[in-house]
Structure 1
Amino acid sequence: MKGNKLDLGENSPLIEPNEDIPVPYESEKKPIEGDAGNNLMLPPNQVITRCHFLVWPVAFLFVTAYYFTFTAFGQYVYIKLQNENFPGIRVNKTTAYCEVNTSSINFKIQEDVQQKAATWGIYFYLSGGLTSIVANFIMGAYTDRFGRKFLFILPCIGTIVRTSLAMVGIYYDLPLPYYIAGYFIEGCTGQIFNIFQITYIYAADITENGKSRSVGIIIVELAIGIGIVAPTLAVGFILEETNSFLVPFYISLGILVLTLFLMFLLPETYPKAIRSQRRYTSKFENLKDAVDLYFSKKNSGRRWMYIVSILVFSFTVYNALGRTAMEGLFLLNYPLCWNPTKIGVFGSMRVAFQQIVGMACVKLFHLCMNDEMIIIIGCISYAASFVLEAYATNDLMMYLVAIVGTFGLLTIPMIRSILSQMTSPQKQGAVFASISAVETAVNCIGALSANSVYIATVKIQRGFTFILFAGFSVISMILMIIFMIGTRGSKNRIYNGKDP
């Protein structure tokens, strides 16, 4: 963090600069050359107050609210379709019927229901995902021009609208096409991925380059992980106890309103006084910044590093989001036939291992290895967990999946850190916008293809999709080994005052 001197006064900054991290006076700031030939002053070391640290509670609360509805709605769609196809067989409003006799007519109908539920999942992902790709890229890049705070507020409002519309639909038992409107509106504001990217940008603003940046991003991942664990575990119990899909949505809406209030309290980390120092020659210059990182000849020394890093990131995000899109159907059906409570326990256990235990180990790993080596360990862990899940036939094997995959998601924050460290402070918005745009696009592609593969193979090899995920993890590992060898001794691995 920027400084570490604690003043217990209520109105004093929580973190002040000390002799190790001096705050430059106006005359001591060093200019750097901008893209348009402007002399830009490096932002002074910020005085970090207690309000800056609200970024982590904000991330936690938003993700918690989001996953209350995400977890509940996936099961709602499946049970709604099942009730329409099995009008004479109904356990209760929130529990799915599971046929285990593979030779019965009901088992074949059950497989058709899985395919229909997966198809509707594709529709919902596309209705919000396609618009959010554009929203994430444009809004993220323009945080370098208009500041950071607006990007917290817009997606929160979009999610509030989607949640409210879903509550109305569930209450009146409206047909599934009705819900597309909510996902589309949320997509126009960037969905949860805009919250992810602005939280990472904000964390980058208040941390120093190097391992401090990695730790700041890891704390974001921890906040997100804890935010996923609570609702994933709670939703199953809530559904069984209340026999109502509306309760998780009520809880989510209340948390979202609180989160929106806290967002207004966050200080601006990239104020107008700094932003105004750059003279723009085009309205699209911020978008060009994001593209140039990967394609500009001026970035020839680092360009291949950006490309390899974003490829590793893409494969890993594809695995994570593709799994999320279809794993619920895998668990609800034969041979596991899990109920909402079991799904919640497993989901929270897996997230706890990956995004809390795994992330907490990063500090230990940094004692003896660099970010690249941590990524390789993550790829191996993820691949092994996918292979085990593909052939899981009982509860014990599934719980082992959560343990084996503990380090699987470390790849994602480490890549974010690597890309951030290679990029100038004036282009943090641009680099995180490119990451978020890729993440959102991969979310759509992952949901579409993972569900499509599951639909095509569910009657032949139910776990084939997980084998596909394992293959992508192996490819990511190979790419990162190439990156590690190619950057050994390179001065371009860390931003050195030259664009980008």
Structure 2
Amino acid sequence: MDDSDTSAILPEEFTPYSADEIPDLGSVSADSETVDVQNKPTLRSGRPPFPCPLPVSVEPVLFLAMFSLALQMPLYTQYLWDRISADLGYNGTKSGGCGNSSGPPDELEKEVETLTAHWNLYINLGGFLMGLFVVTLLGSWSDRVGRRPVLVLACVGLALQAAVYLTVMYLRLPVAWFLLGRLLSGITGDFNAVLAACFAHAADTSNHRGRTFRVAMLEACLGVAGMLASIIGGKWRRAQGYINPFWLALACNLAAALYAYLFVPESVTPDTSARLFSREHHRAVLRLYGPQSRGGRGARLWLYALCFFLVVTVHFGSRDLYVLYELSAPLCWGPELVGYGSAAQHLSYLSSLLGLRVLQQCLDDSWVAILGLASNIAALLVISVASTTVLMFTGYGLNFLSMASTPVLRSKLSRLVDPSEQGALFASVACVEGMCSLVATGAFNSMYPATLPVMKGFPFLFGAILLLIPASIIGTMRCREVRAAPGTS
């Protein structure tokens, strides 16, 4: 079935469905990457009690969950620092920025830094390892029972995490109790389950042409939520301490769970006989990438997943270093300029969304992704040698299309699998994204101090070189597609 046939059945762009208009999706051809819709009974179960009157579906869920996560992450790290400092009797502040103190290093400060970093690693690693097992289970399960149950469950788990963090702060429990909160969130899928269910829902309710933009809209929600949380969290903590921001995080997660239950339309036909605890769910994920995958799609899935891994690793790794790079000489930025820099980073989500929309009118998605990677490479090259504020913001400006590549990669992965496998696919993509965070944190944060004597901006240069790999893979695969189908534009 070609795109013109598909668009006669599925909407060009996603619009929320009324209670009696839930779409029924069939299978996807792995070779043509187009949707083949089969006749199925109209879905009558799994409808939201109150269909949302606004032109959105899962966007508010992802926005609220991301806002809560972005609000908590820097605050709980700062709380760890303050609690460990108090426990060890350290009353100083972190040295850094452009300080040129010639005195000997404070051994107590180093111990506080080490313990904070270790506890941060233990807590995040515990949540990630638990979530890695559960999110693949929930993702495949959502292909059978629907996306809404997974969204509600994961948001409730995130709310439990915030509740545990509040309890630790109110009762001044040992910081090890933070691990309990992360494990409770991991048992319910963690934020990765929200990502998997939201992107799978977008794939369920969009056609071949509209899918990339739908995915880009969800990624824009991530960027805007992160920007608002980073602006609000720091100012609020300085004004009122840690407690109130975490109450807001708890409220956001509960609101996300309630919205998912009340307003999100179900996008798959629920199978009431499907069991949650079944080895078949993990097998479904493994089958996607196995050598016996249908139509030889396994190789393409691996290549696109590798591209996604490299791109997101560079995004996370460079983002971890921006503030440290800005605070130190020769830039020596203060809090105000750091805030402007953070806003400029997150604005790339919106500029990439607009650029993607415009470029899709004349270019194939693959070329749009390559242009996005070129934008990111140019930005990293400039930032790697930035010695003035003007040059640093020039780098941020060149980054305007950098977030266009990831929605294209998610969309291409989605088109290679059946509608009945979208949950399993995006669960595996969410796990890859979690691995990117761990790898980026370890690699880039280790590389930065090691290469300071040689070149301060070397990690950014390394990231730019690394992005040449996915650009080459995407370009090569697109050229092969054109040769295989000469009529393809």
TM-score, normalization: structure 1?
A: 0.79
Aligned to 2:132: 133
Aligned to 2:248: 251
Q: Give the C-alpha shift of residue 413 in structure 1.
A: 0.9
With over 3 angstroms needed to count, the CA separation of the structure-2 counterparts of 1:237 and 1:55, relative to structure 1, is same
Partners in 1 of 2:258 and 2:147 — Cα distance?
A: 16
Aligned to 1:148: 147
Partners in 2 of 1:5 and 1:215 — Cα distance?
A: 8
Q: Give the C-alpha shift of residue 86 in structure 1.
A: 9.3
Q: Give the C-alpha shift of residue 248 in structure 1.
A: 2.1
With over 3 angstroms needed to count, the CA separation of the structure-2 counterparts of 1:324 and 1:123, relative to structure 1, is farther
Q: Give the C-alpha shift of residue 173 in structure 1.
A: 5.2
2:482 is paired with a residue of what secondary structure? coil
1:149 is paired with a residue of what secondary structure? helix
Partners in 1 of 2:342 and 2:82 — Cα distance?
A: 19
1:299 corresponds to 2:297: no
Q: Give the C-alpha shift of residue 320 in structure 1.
A: 2.2
With over 3 angstroms needed to count, the CA separation of the structure-2 counterparts of 1:43 and 1:358, relative to structure 1, is farther
> Structure 2: where are the runs of 5+ without partners?
1-6, 30-36
Does the CA-based 8 Å contact 2:13-2:206 persist in structure 1? no
Does the CA-based 8 Å contact 1:165-1:182 persist in structure 2? yes
Q: Give the C-alpha shift of residue 201 in structure 1.
A: 0.7
Partners in 2 of 1:113 and 1:386 — Cα distance?
A: 32
1:56 corresponds to 2:59: yes
2:265 is paired with a residue of what secondary structure? coil
Q: Give the C-alpha shift of residue 445 in structure 1.
A: 2.5
Does the CA-based 8 Å contact 1:118-1:451 persist in structure 2? no
Q: Give the C-alpha shift of residue 418 in structure 1.
A: 0.7
Q: Give the C-alpha shift of residue 341 in structure 1.
A: 5.1
Does the CA-based 8 Å contact 2:380-2:464 persist in structure 1? yes
The aligned amino acid for 1:224 is: L
Does the CA-based 8 Å contact 1:318-1:442 persist in structure 2? yes
Q: Give the C-alpha shift of residue 309 in structure 1.
A: 0.6
Does the CA-based 8 Å contact 1:128-1:187 persist in structure 2? yes
Per-residue displacement from partner, 1:10-56 (whole Å, max 9, x unpaired)?
A: x9939969xxxxx89xxxx98999xxxxxx95556879953683311
Map residues 22-421 of structure 1 onto 2, 5 A cutoff: 43=40, 50=52, 53-78=56-81, 87=90, 89-90=92-93, 98=96, 100-102=98-100, 104-105=102-103, 117-171=116-170, 175-208=174-207, 210-240=208-238, 242=239, 244-265=241-262, 266-272=264-270, 283-331=278-326, 336=331, 342-352=337-347, 354-421=348-415
With over 3 angstroms needed to count, the CA separation of the structure-2 counterparts of 1:206 and 1:5, relative to structure 1, is closer
Q: Give the C-alpha shift of residue 268 in structure 1.
A: 2.0
Aligned to 1:20: none
The aligned amino acid for 1:206 is: T
Map residues 423-442 of structure 1 onto 2, 5 A cutoff: 423-442=417-436
Does the CA-based 8 Å contact 1:233-1:341 persist in structure 2? no
Q: Give the C-alpha shift of residue 223 in structure 1.
A: 2.0
Does the CA-based 8 Å contact 1:144-1:286 persist in structure 2? no
The aligned amino acid for 2:241 is: S
Greater shift after overlay, 228-237 or 386-395? 386-395
Partners in 2 of 1:319 and 1:403 — Cα distance?
A: 18
Q: Give the C-alpha shift of residue 364 in structure 1.
A: 0.4
Partners in 2 of 1:465 and 1:213 — Cα distance?
A: 33
Partners in 1 of 2:126 and 2:197 — Cα distance?
A: 22
With over 3 angstroms needed to count, the CA separation of the structure-2 counterparts of 1:83 and 1:482, relative to structure 1, is farther
Q: Give the C-alpha shift of residue 485 in structure 1.
A: 1.7
Partners in 1 of 2:318 and 2:13 — Cα distance?
A: 43
Per-residue displacement from partner, 1:377-408 (whole Å, max 9, x unpaired)?
A: 12122223233333444544443332222222
2:57 is paired with a residue of what secondary structure? helix
Does the CA-based 8 Å contact 2:326-2:333 persist in structure 1? yes
Does the CA-based 8 Å contact 2:11-2:206 persist in structure 1? no
Aligned pairs, how many?
464
Partners in 2 of 1:417 and 1:406 — Cα distance?
A: 20
Q: Give the C-alpha shift of residue 421 in structure 1.
A: 1.4
The aligned amino acid for 2:310 is: F
RMSD in angstroms over aligned alpha carbons?
Answer: 4.0
1:53 is paired with a residue of what secondary structure? coil
Partners in 2 of 1:386 and 1:262 — Cα distance?
A: 39
With over 3 angstroms needed to count, the CA separation of the structure-2 counterparts of 1:300 and 1:105, relative to structure 1, is farther
Per-residue displacement from partner, 1:256-307 (whole Å, max 9, x unpaired)?
A: 222221111123221226x87xx99x94334333222222334353332211
With over 3 angstroms needed to count, the CA separation of the structure-2 counterparts of 1:153 and 1:416, relative to structure 1, is same
Partners in 2 of 1:431 and 1:217 — Cα distance?
A: 14
> Structure 1: where are the runs of 5+ without partners?
18-22, 34-39, 91-95, 495-500
1:50 is paired with a residue of what secondary structure? coil
TM-score, normalization: structure 2?
A: 0.81
Partners in 2 of 1:246 and 1:338 — Cα distance?
A: 29
With over 3 angstroms needed to count, the CA separation of the structure-2 counterparts of 1:101 and 1:108, relative to structure 1, is farther
Does the CA-based 8 Å contact 1:325-1:447 persist in structure 2? yes
Does the CA-based 8 Å contact 1:140-1:429 persist in structure 2? yes
Partners in 2 of 1:62 and 1:294 — Cα distance?
A: 29
Does the CA-based 8 Å contact 1:390-1:464 persist in structure 2? yes
Aligned to 1:93: none
Partners in 2 of 1:212 and 1:143 — Cα distance?
A: 22
Q: Give the C-alpha shift of residue 350 in structure 1.
A: 0.9
The aligned amino acid for 2:213 is: V
1:484 corresponds to 2:486: no
Partners in 1 of 2:83 and 2:365 — Cα distance?
A: 45
Partners in 2 of 1:45 and 1:132 — Cα distance?
A: 34
